Amino acid sequence: MIVKTEGGVAMIWCVEDDSSIRDIEVYALMSTGFEAKGFEDGDSFWNALQSEKPDLVVLDVMLPGKDGVTLLKLMKESEDFRQIPVIMATAKGTEYDKIQSLDLGADDYLVKPFGIMEMVSRVKAVLRRCMPKVSSNLLKLDGLVLNPDEHTVSVDGERVILTYKEYELLHLFLSQPGIAFTREQLLSSVWNAEYLGETRTVDMHIRTLRQKLGDYGHIIETVRNVGYRLEAKHDK
């Protein structure tokens, strides 16, 4: 199974001076769906970090050149690198060593000798905690985005506060772009109400929804003698 992040297949960097351990780590990660790269010392890792960012780093504490603790401090002090998750790995298993690394910002800690599949499981767990959740159910039209999982709406990156019925109307329109709905159909779908001759509540909600959507309000079109529809141009 390929492990993906928002930017594609997750890239894991292993910084380990023991070549046999480093090779096994890289092989295990690649065999379980990651992309992986190994570094034999802190300096080569730090230099590579200036031009490329991994999704997670497995960082040995005892390294030639810059040691793991120094590298962790540098990463967490940097605006560019502080968000990269780090799992520290060391033969030192004392409580002090663990607390020191975690206090400096490490996301997890491995004590040597550790099982390779334990390392892979910890990598997956940290990625789940640290990576932003990306919904595959987003409904979009240019800069208008509706997220059904979070029940939110944004316009050009700015959150728009809608009432429940306004949200349900917009969700219906975005789900079926280009389809014209009668007022009676909208009442039935959004209000779960049978048509009793009164449809002004639909018009009122459409008007306020258009206002809240600002420059995107025009996408909800009035269909003469029918009702309303969303512009057919739609990117899901």
DSSP string, 119-160: HHHHHHHHHHHHSPP--S--EEETTEEEETTTTEEEETTEEE
d(Cα 116, Cα 114) in Å, to the nearest integer?
Answer: 6
Backbone angles phi, psi at 30, to 5 degrees: -70, -30
Q: Are residues 14 and 103 in the same domain?
A: yes
Is the whole model's pTM more than 0.95, yes or no? no
Residue 234 has pLDDT above 50, yes or no: no
pLDDT in tens, 182-218: 998 998 888 876 555 566 889 999 999 999 999 999 9
Place of tokens 């033969």: 91
pLDDT in tens, 75-124: 999 989 999 999 999 877 667 777 888 888 999 999 888 999 999 999 99
Specify whether 153 is located in the same domain as 218.
yes
Q: Using the 3D structure, point to which of 110, 130, 150 is the last residue of a domain.
A: 130
Structure tokens of 199?
């449809």
**Long-range contacts of residues 162-166, Cβ cutoff 8 Å, at least 24 apart:** 162/209, 162/212, 163/205, 163/208, 165/190, 165/191, 165/205, 166/205, 166/208, 166/209, 166/212
Q: Are residues 121 and 145 in the same domain?
A: no
Give me the pLDDT at residue 194, please.
Answer: 58
Q: How many domains does the chain have?
A: 2
> Are residue 212 and residue 100 in the same domain, yes or no?
no
How far apart are alpha carbons 198 and 217 in whole angstroms?
Answer: 24
Establish if 236 belongs to a structural domain: no
Residue 169 and residue 125 share a domain: no
Assess whether 199 and 106 both reside in one domain: no
Please tell me whether residues 103 and 186 are part of one structural domain.
Answer: no
Q: Are residues 156 and 113 in the same domain?
A: no
For residue 72, what are the domain limits? 4-130
Q: What is the CATH number of the domain that holds 166?
A: 1.10.10.10
Among the candidates 96, 130, 164, a domain finishes at: 130
CATH number of the CATH domain containing 93: 3.40.50.2300
